[in-house]
């Protein structure tokens, strides 16, 4: 059984090799962690399973040395094979109950919620955190539900007690208002992956998060 530890969900980086300008995903992750990222989710849609596992193991080894958890997007098999800390499931992925039955308590499980009902179901089903998705319209993913907006985030916050992570169109300019809207943390993709200086981008977003909490 994997021992549960306190997770800092304040700034959660979701990788995207297509946005990284040819840079190796591990290099972008290193820079993001240098900038203060507290969680990393490895998202791969096109590579082979073998490559996915190898990349997850390499990135996971680095993150473990920094005390930062690694989540795998969608793929429970990859998460287990690579010894990741958790898996993140969308509404069209493996059902939460099935994933928990397979993984037991070896993995943390996060679930994307596109509605209040999704969030409530995830909490009742034993998820470790809920990701409100998407908050704002985003070009990073085109198969998402309509944007929840801050009102949707606030409605979700009123109904669930789990850590609530906001994702979708979030960047330095709006991270603060998302935190003030009830999110425990923000997840970003392009705001770090596509940044010329990922470490600096992470630092600037984290500064906005901290300022919002102190306001």
Please name every residue paired with 71 in a beta bridge, in sequence order, or none if there are none: 41, 86
CA atoms within 13 A on the CB side of 104: 5
Any catalytic annotation for residue 43? yes
* CA separation for the pair 70, 128 (Å, rounded): 14
- Residue 141 appears among annotated catalytic residues: yes
Question: 17, 20, 43, 131: which is the annotated catalytic residue?
Answer: 43
Bridge partners for 72 per DSSP = 42, 87
Residues 134 and 120: their CA atoms lie apart, in Å, by 16
Tell me the C-alpha distance between 56 and 79, whole Å: 8
Beta bridge partner(s), residue 153: none
| Of 112, 131, 133, 190, catalytic | 112
Q: Exactly one of 2, 141, 207, 210 is catalytic; name it.
A: 141
Q: Which residues of 159-189 are buried (b: 16+ CB within 10 A; e: fewer)?
A: ebebbbbbbbbbbbebbbebbebbbbbbbbb
Residues across the chain: 215
The residues annotated with a catalytic role in the active site are: 43, 112, 141
């Amino acid at each position: 059984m994997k021992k549960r530890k306190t997770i800092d969900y304040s700034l959660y980086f979701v990788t995207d090799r297509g946005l990284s300008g040819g840079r190796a995903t591990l290099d972008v992750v290193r820079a993001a962690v240098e900038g203060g990222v507290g969680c990393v989710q490895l998202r791969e849609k096109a590579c082979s399973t073998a490559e996915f596992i190898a990349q997850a193991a390499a990135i996971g080894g680095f993150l473990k040395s920094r005390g930062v958890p690694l989540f795998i997007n969608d793929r429970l098999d990859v998460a287990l094979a690579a010894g990741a800390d958790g898996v993140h499931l969308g509404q069209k992925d493996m059902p939460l109950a099935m994933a928990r039955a397979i993984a037991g308590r070896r993995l943390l499980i996060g679930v994307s919620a596109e509605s209040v009902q999704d969030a409530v179901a995830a909490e009742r089903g034993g998820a470790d955190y809920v990701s409100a998705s998407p908050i704002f319209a985003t070009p990073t993913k085109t198969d998402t539900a309509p944007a929840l907006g801050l009102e949707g985030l606030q409605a979700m916050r009123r109904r669930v007690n789990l850590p609530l992570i906001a994702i979708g169109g979030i960047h330095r300019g709006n991270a603060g208002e998302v935190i003030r809207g009830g999110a425990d943390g923000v997840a970003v993709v392009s705001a770090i992956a596509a940044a010329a200086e990922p470490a600096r981008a992470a630092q600037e977003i984290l500064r906005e998060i901290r300022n919002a909490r102190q306001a």
